Chains A and B, each alone.
Chain A
Amino acid sequence: MNIEAERQQRLMAQLLAPRADTAALALRESGSRALRGLQAYRANADASATRALATAFPTVQALVGEADFEHLAREFWRAAPPLRGDLGEWGDTFAAWLAAHPQFADGPYIGDCARLDWALHRCERAADNTLDADSIARLGDTDSARLAMQLAPGVALVESAWPIVMILDAHRGGDDAAFAAARDAISEQRGEAALVARQGWRATAIAIDAGSAAWTRRLLAGDDLAGALAAAGEQFDFSAWLTTAIQAAWVKGIRVLVD
């Protein structure tokens, strides 16, 4: 390793170390001044970690409180540092990391709330959708077994054994009744499937029933429409769903599957 690569690696290691220590760094500064310099960079990292994760995981931040969230962000930064120079991309493993965190052994829904936050965050960064209106005509002239539906970029399905949409809505400006309802649903462990999609620039989540969830899951997997309809079950009303989906811009278009 050349001298600059080694110098840079050492500084990176000290930025991520549990405690600031300049002993391993060859610096012009010495003593407390060197330590203060290193701390300036470590403080930048702490602030970046909190800012980035608070942007992507506002529900988690609201659930755990700002002070605890700041500690978690610092811990996660050191456990799974960013690989990219766009912090909007950082956090894809945060939900799994939180779910396994001993601090949340008594709050098992936190990981799922984080998964929903991340899906919303990704949705808001996804490509802007343009409906291929002409492609919708394929529904009338092509066998559904040969068609697949492309959902809008960012549309996602998050399924949980916990009421993640109720928790989200309560923290997104819900009133006391919304919090009370979410608490009741948590105590009864009422699971929810969340359909994530953009409404204007903002991503939102709505709770959908089991048939709609099965349907959405199959569409997101790229399955043909006949198979997706079969999975959705007899109660699923495709026409009503399509009307809503087009109005709500969940759909990008229909594509013909190639044999």
Chain B
Amino acid sequence: MRQAGPSASVDDGLRAGIGLRQPHYAEVIQASPPLGFVEVHSENFFADGGAALAVLTEARERYDVSLHGVGLGLGSAAGVDAWHLDRLARLVRRIEPVRVSDHASFARAPRAAAGAVLHANDLLPLAFTKASLDILCANVMQVQDRLKRRILVENLSAYLSFPDDSISEPAYFAALCERSGCAMLLDVNNIMVNALNLGAPDPIAHCKAFVDALPQGIVSEIHLAGYCETDQIVIDDHGSRVRPDVWTVYEHALRRFGTLPTLVEWDTEVPALAVLTGEADHATRLLRAAAATRAGAALGV
């Protein structure tokens, strides 16, 4: 059974964060629960003004804020939308986030050759090829040049994949980070969802191997969330507690990389805030345990 909150006997600076979503705006601002940071979807704050932006500004006075995009389409062969990048740059100036991230996905493409470039507003999968890596690197560098900061790029849960993949996903991210200077946002739930959808005989071992194949130093944040099983496919719905198999891989990642800013996301069937902060508290306990283990190892105990 989980403890009521994080252990108070260790460094309070190590705390997991939560994805801040609309149902929790008022309560988070009012109660200001102890959190390492809050993360929001950048696009929800692209408006010129209004209530959501005011809430985020208030949240920024209480917490570090991480801006996590879902719509840059960093892997789009059609490139990054200048309008989108302008809005993101404006938000970065307003909020001064601790981190800015988006996904290794494409979102923008025409539906017919030479047609208007549409935006799917979804995290559409990339092929792991040299050609797609070239596109992704160029787009990431364009964004970093504009924002004048390093961004983080997250691995996807993908429901479709491509037969001509020529690079393993960890090697793809290693090359992306090396070439563009970006960092990786490792979504542990996503690698588990992919392992399950792949039918990996031992999904936990599969995910640990993924983590082990990533070079040291490239991962700058970890995401955790829940998934759900449907017929034939596991969906990354961010609609439930983090699963035990994901916690296991998370602990493995902490052993490998050391403590990292960690976020618990919950986007559908959003529960009471206490349920979400309870999940973040559990991540905090694991972070602190990992820190204690590493400190002990450094002292030879």
In the complex, the answer to whether A4 meets B118 with C-beta atoms within 8 Å is: no
Minimum C-beta distance from A217 to chain B (A): 23
Docked CA distance A7–B75 (Å): 12
Partner pick for B231 among A36, A88, A153, CB 8 A cutoff: A36
Given contacts A4-B127, A128-B49, contact A12 B233 (CB under 8 A): no
Main secondary structure of the interface of B (DSSP, over half): loop
9 A–B contacts, CB within 8 A, in A order = A5-B78, A9-B109, A15-B124, A48-B121, A84-B71, A85-B71, A86-B71, A86-B84, A87-B121
Given contacts A2-B131, A34-B160, A81-B111, contact A88 B233 (CB under 8 A): no
Docked CA distance A201–B25 (Å): 14
Give B234's nearest chain A residue, CB to CB: A40
Interface size on B, residues (CB 8 A): 54
Given contacts A8-B77, A36-B233, A126-B48, contact A82 B113 (CB under 8 A): no
A223 within 8 A of B: no
In the complex, what residues of A have CB within 8 A of residue B70's CB?
85
Contacting A at CB under 8 A, from B162-177, are 162-165
Partner pick for B116 among A3, A41, A83, CB 8 A cutoff: A83
Partner pick for B110 among A9, A37, A201, CB 8 A cutoff: A9
Seen from chain A, the residues whose Cβ lies within 8 Å of a Cβ on chain B are 1-9, 11-13, 15-16, 25-29, 32-34, 36-38, 40-41, 44-45, 48, 81-89, 124-128, 153, 201
Minimum C-beta distance from A11 to chain B (A): 6
Given contacts A37-B159, A81-B118, A83-B116, contact A88 B46 (CB under 8 A): yes
Given contacts A28-B165, A36-B232, contact A125 B48 (CB under 8 A): yes
In the complex, the answer to whether A9 meets B113 with C-beta atoms within 8 Å is: yes
Contacting A at CB under 8 A, from B151-210, are 159-165
In the complex, the answer to whether B111 meets A84 with C-beta atoms within 8 Å is: no
Give B72's nearest chain A residue, CB to CB: A85
Main secondary structure of the interface of A (DSSP, over half): helix
In the complex, what residues of A have CB within 8 A of residue B87's CB?
86
In the complex, what residues of B have CB within 8 A of residue A13's CB?
111-112
A-B contact number at CB 8 A: 151
Given contacts A2-B77, A37-B233, contact A28 B161 (CB under 8 A): yes
Q: A27-B163, A40-B235, A87-B121 provided; 18 other pairs, C-beta below 8 A?
A: A4-B135, A9-B111, A12-B120, A15-B122, A28-B165, A36-B231, A37-B233, A38-B159, A82-B118, A82-B120, A82-B121, A86-B87, A87-B43, A89-B46, A125-B50, A126-B47, A126-B48, A201-B54
In the complex, the answer to whether B112 meets A7 with C-beta atoms within 8 Å is: no
B76 within 8 A of A: yes
Minimum C-beta distance from B266 to chain A (A): 16
Minimum C-beta distance from A78 to chain B (A): 9
Partner pick for A38 among B76, B131, B160, B235, CB 8 A cutoff: B160
B117 within 8 A of A: yes
In the complex, the answer to whether A124 meets B51 with C-beta atoms within 8 Å is: yes
In the complex, the answer to whether B233 meets A48 with C-beta atoms within 8 Å is: no
In the complex, what residues of A have CB within 8 A of residue B50's CB?
124-126, 128, 201
Most buried by B among A12, A33, A126, A153: A12
Partner pick for B109 among A11, A28, A84, CB 8 A cutoff: A11
B220 within 8 A of A: no
Docked CA distance A89–B129 (Å): 33
Q: Would you list the 7 A-B pairs with minimal beta carbon distance, nearest first? A: A85-B71, A125-B47, A5-B77, A201-B51, A37-B159, A128-B49, A127-B48
In the complex, the answer to whether A41 meets B81 with C-beta atoms within 8 Å is: no
B142 within 8 A of A: no
In the complex, the answer to whether B163 meets A37 with C-beta atoms within 8 Å is: no
Docked CA distance A11–B39 (Å): 30
